[in-house]
Amino acid sequence: MADGSWATFEARFDEAAARIDGVRRHSTPGGVRYERGGVEFATVAAAQVAFRLVPDIARAALRTPEVTPSERGEGWIVLSPDRVDVFTCDRAVSWFESAARHAADR
């Protein structure tokens, strides 16, 4: 994938979700949200994706360009890339998988 679209995140997250037991996808008026064990851990909306990560991973993620803390609270980060390329997607899928695996622990 060269320069992709925001639908690429949803497609890649849906593929990852299928590999992790208990992940549920919910369409919302503004995008998509993902949860596991009743805990929301990722969203795709407008021109950003957000993840609820464990604190040490969130701190590391915040050193990545185009990533900011989310207003949602501790551990939540927002990725707002100017363009969706293979590297950005791979990074986002890694965060998605980590967030999904740790969602049930919360």
Which segments of the chain are extended strands (E)? Answer: 23-28, 31-36, 39-45, 48-52, 67-69, 76-79
* 95: its two tokens: 């965060």
Strand-pairing partners, residue 39, are 36
Residue 13 lies inside a defined structural domain of this protein: yes
CATH code, domain carrying 51: 3.90.1150.30
For the chain, the domain total comes to: 1
Structural domain including 55 reads: 6-103
Per-residue pLDDT tens over the stretch 13-37 = 999 999 999 999 999 998 999 999 9
Per-residue pLDDT tens over the stretch 54-67 = 999 999 999 999 99
Q: Whole-model pTM above 0.75?
A: yes
pLDDT at 30: 86
Residue 25 lies inside a defined structural domain of this protein: yes
**Residue reference for tokens 């008026």:** 29
